[in-house]
Amino acid sequence: MTMPHYPGGVWLVDFEFHPCNGKEGNPPVPVCMVAREFTTGRTLRLWQNDLARLHAAPFPTDDSALFVVFYAPAEFGCFLALGWPLPHNILDLFSEFRTQTNGRIVPAGNGLIGALAYHGLDSIAAEEKTAMRERVLQGGPWDCTEQQAILDYCETDVVALEKLLPAMRARLDWPRALLRGQYSAAAAHIEANGVPLDVGALEIFRANLDGIQGKLIEAIDRDYGVYEGRTFKRERFEQYLSAQGIPWPRLPTGQLQLDDDAFKEMSRAHPQLAALRELRVSLGQMRLSELPVGDDGRNRCMISILRSKTGRNQPSNTRFIFGPSTWMRGLIQPAPGYGLAYVDWSQQEFGIAAALSGDENMKTAYASGDPYMAFAKQAGAVPEEATKKTHAIERDQFKACVLAVQYGMGAESLALRINQPVARARELLDLHKRTYRRFWQWSDGVVNEAVLGGKLWTVYGWQLFTGDNPNDRSLRNFPMQANGAEMLRLACIQLMNDGVCICAPVHDAILIEAPLETLDAVVAHTQTVMKQASATVLGGFALESDTKIVRHPERYMDARGVKMWNTVMGLLGLDERKVSDA
């Protein structure tokens, strides 16, 4: 596609920066910036004192110009720190490199050096780049020689952009590329906002949690009896499962499968195992030492846009408060006078599948507000007057079946989840195929397209190259996950433009913050925007959303983590921070 004409210029830009006060979690302090106009070669090299005197970028940022960068959220963090308006037209070559290579082998990685290498272009040596970046992160003062060296280093990334843009531009889908650029701007705002935490509790955690591990194990293990000291005993756990009548997946050797994926899956089917799983995960994450928290008590980290194959964000599990064990999310607490709202699309994957496949039965089930009970009714398994209360067991089984289809489970895995014979699981899966025939025809078509055509794509152009040995389960799930990511990006862009403070995107949800007096109105607006975003992606089929509102001094809490949180609070002598429910 031909590159649009920009009379204000095509500006290639890079900043160097370090965190304020040298502390990760604080906003960036811009050290220098180099900008070059692509056509004329005009180059601007500005040190931090020059930048601080400016009220806007020293080049056009309106609709007449194009701003080109590699991983824009980092550069826009500097714009926000300087108080500069963000550019209107944004081309993030990181996002476009991911779009052009997603699923393909990228030998040198997805960074700038990797993108250059992929296109056969020279770059600065990785070792030299690392050394210079570390010197910047150390902070000043820098003498004149160092300042020139840092500016020269910054300019090498601009030179790299100057090489990379011609290599990539012919394959760019410009309207969609610029839309992804807008999401880079939204991501910068999100990373700058961060998530407010109860810093007092966090500091006590970090100082004392190692010392209470033994007591924590003892407190949680009272319900299980599977630990000996601090050691999880496989044979004791097997005895517990037998006594409770809980089937468990096994390895080919016959041994219990004890990885976290197995515990996560089985905890969904058997909620009494949730605290044990939380304990096992938590023992390796107790200090939260890698969680970056700024001087203002907010967790800030890269949300790592477009890092997953489905195009979803992929922040570090150790650096993002939603990454560690669910009970640790109790640290999330709005500041005085503020509230938080966790707004997530209702049954997003089911709704996307219904819309994209055009399955009318599935659409009707989604529109009912309870697609799991609707499925049971459509399959003739329960009477039309059945409710969640009167037919809870049947609903749970049909819900498990819907989720099994979404996750690509077979009958054996579904049987474990519902604690029923494999024959019953096969019956449920067969009912799904008979009830939602159009969906299954479409899903089979997705797999055929991936295998024969070599790629899949979303309605906004995010694509996956499938390679020689594609995974059937991943292929079937890609349209739901990837189009879910598209609607999240659209919603975040609109909410940013509307001035809503987004603290974090979390899979199919958005965590927002607002003053208490406007919180309800902001929540309602967020739900409207999310509904519109889903309708835009799904050709008019709108998805509803659910909300969980937290007003200071309340704290955010995931229901799965309540028992663990309260146990830890008790052991730390923080009874006033216990919660009654989630």
Q: How confident is the model at residue 133 (pLDDT cuts 50, 70, 90)?
A: confident
pLDDT digits (tens, 9 = 90+) for 18-63: 999 999 999 999 999 999 999 999 999 999 999 999 999 999 999 9
| CA separation for the pair 306, 324 (Å, rounded) | 21
pLDDT digits (tens, 9 = 90+) for 411-427: 998 998 888 999 999 99
| CA separation for the pair 543, 532 (Å, rounded) | 8
Mean pLDDT over 258-282 rounds to 87
Three-state DSSP class for residue 26? strand
Extents of the domains making up the chain: 9-193, 202-282, 302-346+481-577, 349-473
Q: What average pLDDT does the structure give for the chain?
A: 94
| CA separation for the pair 118, 359 (Å, rounded) | 41
Find out whether the peptide bond into 19 is cis, omega within 30 degrees of 0: no
pLDDT of residue 50: 96
Q: How confident is the model at residue 287 (pLDDT cuts 50, 70, 90)?
A: low
Q: How confident is the model at residue 269 (pLDDT cuts 50, 70, 90)?
A: confident
CA dist 102 → 165, 174, 481 (Å): 18, 18, 14
pLDDT digits (tens, 9 = 90+) for 166-213: 999 999 999 999 999 999 999 999 999 999 999 999 999 888 877 888
Residue 117 has pLDDT above 70, yes or no: yes
Residue 1 has pLDDT above 90, yes or no: no
DSSP H or E stretch at residue 549: strand 545-551
Q: How confident is the model at residue 267 (pLDDT cuts 50, 70, 90)?
A: confident
- % of the chain surpassing 90 pLDDT: 81
Backbone angles phi, psi at 498, to 5 degrees: -85, 0
pLDDT of residue 559: 87
Mean pLDDT over 132-158 rounds to 92
In the numeric block, the tokens 């819900």 are attached to 399
Taking the domain 349-473, which CATH number applies?
1.10.150.20
| CA separation for the pair 339, 337 (Å, rounded) | 7
- Of residues 558 and 541, the one with the higher pLDDT is 541
Q: Which two tokens stand for residue 171?
A: 């394959």
| CA separation for the pair 454, 448 (Å, rounded) | 9
| Strand 545-551 versus strand 338-345 pairing type | antiparallel
Residue 519 has pLDDT above 90, yes or no: yes
| CA separation for the pair 232, 495 (Å, rounded) | 46
Q: How confident is the model at residue 286 (pLDDT cuts 50, 70, 90)?
A: low
Fold exhibited by the domain 302-346+481-577 = Alpha-Beta Plaits (3.30.70)
Pair 484, 348: CB distance under 8 Å = yes
Architecture label for domain 9-193: 2-Layer Sandwich (3.30)
pLDDT digits (tens, 9 = 90+) for 356-403: 999 999 999 999 999 999 999 999 999 999 999 999 999 999 999 999
- Of the listed ranges 107-111, 243-247, 498-502, the one predicted with least confidence: 243-247
Q: Which two tokens stand for residue 398?
A: 């049909």
| CA separation for the pair 356, 539 (Å, rounded) | 9
Give the contacts of 325 (CB within 8 A, at least 6 positions apart).
278, 281, 282, 285, 561, 564
